[in-house]
Structure 1
Amino acid sequence: MPFDLISGKFVPEKSNIWRDCVDGYYDWVKEHIEEGAPLNESDHCGDPPLLLAAGNGHLTCCKLLLEEGADIEQRNVMGETPLIRSAHNGHYPTVRFLVEKGADVNSVDMGDNCALHWAAMRGHVEIVKFLLQSGADKELRNKQDKIPIDLCQPAWSNSYRFAREVLAEY
């Protein structure tokens, strides 16, 4: 059965996988907003709707959710914010949009990792550059006492060395 990202319930009538994943995602979110679904509550997996949309790079849905009153700093059970999740997954347009809308570039998750930690670790070079230009703290330490450049390792990404270069130069 298809899963409803907003209400956190399984909805049999939402059975078209293409609608759920591609073009219909926006319509689906809009429909649930019109039905009065909560915008700042987590689903059964612990993820609120803006965090899910941002993490999947659904920029139009992020815009709609924010217009409707979603909290830009909403968090899941791991303490991730929409910015952290979109940086982790490499969605540059979403990262840029969230920062321009006022997302805190230095907010941290439960492991004290910020968006810059995740972007650096995953080798998302353009996101690393943008976060640094937007005031991200490259000396912020996580719970393992690591700064973002320490996470630029070949085990995590093939483009780690490029992220490392950007962090070293900035």
Structure 2
Amino acid sequence: MPFDLITGKFVPEKSNIWRDCVDGYYDWVQEHIEDGAPLNEADHCGDPPLLLAAGNGHLAVCQLLLEEGADVEQRNVMGETPLIRAAHNGHLATVQYLIDKGAEVNSIDMGDNTALHWASMRGHVEIVKYLLAQGADRTLRNKQEKIPIDLCQPCWSNSYRFARQLLSAY
């Protein structure tokens, strides 16, 4: 149940089963799936369930949702996919799982950023390495005409130089 920071109370009417699932309530999510909750529809904030679980690194919930028929390429209002969100937030195991399940490694969001753009910018070196090994295109440009290596800047991450070295080597 969501907590309202202003009133200091739990507010049931603000509850959303998918947003709540990112807190790791696997059994609770499973119960809602059994009750017929939609797997591919966005919540009131524009995020579908798999994207929420992937973005928070809840691998077990991702597995459950995909086993039950969630679309691995579902998107939010910003065009992000579960893979993009997982790469952005640094969840390597989730990134690996989603790609194993058929996620498109070069899918783009509304800003034409790929998972590689986000992982590079955030300095998630192991994810950058994995995405490159899986065929991620390091030459794709986003709407600002930036390729992933251009986003490796100290203002975004302390490990930017390692991601830059990795991108330079490919």
So what's the TM-score if we normalise by structure 1?
A: 0.89
2:133 matches 1:133: yes
**Which runs of 5 or more residues in structure 2 are unaligned?**
4-12
User: Counterparts of 1:49-88 in structure 2 under 5 Å?
Assistant: 49-88=49-88
Runs of 4+ in 1 over 4 A off after TM superposition: none
Residue 2 of structure 1: aligned partner: 2
Partner amino acid, structure 2, of 1:104? E
Residue 156 of structure 2: aligned partner: 156
> Identity percentage over the alignment?
75
For the residues of structure 2 that align with 1:166 and 1:32, how far apart are their CA atoms?
42
Distance 1:151 1:11, change over 3 A: closer
Question: Does structure 1 conserve the Cα–Cα contact (< 8 Å) formed by 2:88 and 2:118?
Answer: yes
For the residues of structure 1 that align with 2:117 and 2:28, how far apart are their CA atoms?
32
1:21 to 23, 27, 45: 23
**Which runs of 5 or more residues in structure 1 are unaligned?**
4-8
Partner amino acid, structure 1, of 2:31? E
**Superposed CA offset, 1:129-159 (max 9, x none):** 0000000000000000000000000000000
Question: Does structure 1 conserve the Cα–Cα contact (< 8 Å) formed by 2:22 and 2:56?
Answer: no
Partner amino acid, structure 1, of 2:93? P
Instruction: State the secondary structure of the residue aligned to 1:39.
Output: coil
Question: Does structure 2 conserve the Cα–Cα contact (< 8 Å) formed by 1:20 and 1:28?
Answer: no
Residue 6 of structure 1: aligned partner: none
For the residues of structure 2 that align with 1:20 and 1:85, how far apart are their CA atoms?
13
For the residues of structure 2 that align with 1:11 and 1:34, how far apart are their CA atoms?
18
2:147 matches 1:147: yes
For the residues of structure 2 that align with 1:136 and 1:20, how far apart are their CA atoms?
27
Instruction: State the secondary structure of the residue aligned to 1:21.
Output: coil
For the residues of structure 1 that align with 2:137 and 2:34, how far apart are their CA atoms?
39
User: How far has the Cα of 1:73 moved from its partner?
Assistant: 0.2
**Superposed CA offset, 1:98-118 (max 9, x none):** 001110000000000000000
The two structures, once aligned, show a CA RMSD in angstroms of 1.9
**Superposed CA offset, 1:73-123 (max 9, x none):** 000000000000000000000000000111000000000000000000000
For the residues of structure 1 that align with 2:28 and 2:22, how far apart are their CA atoms?
7
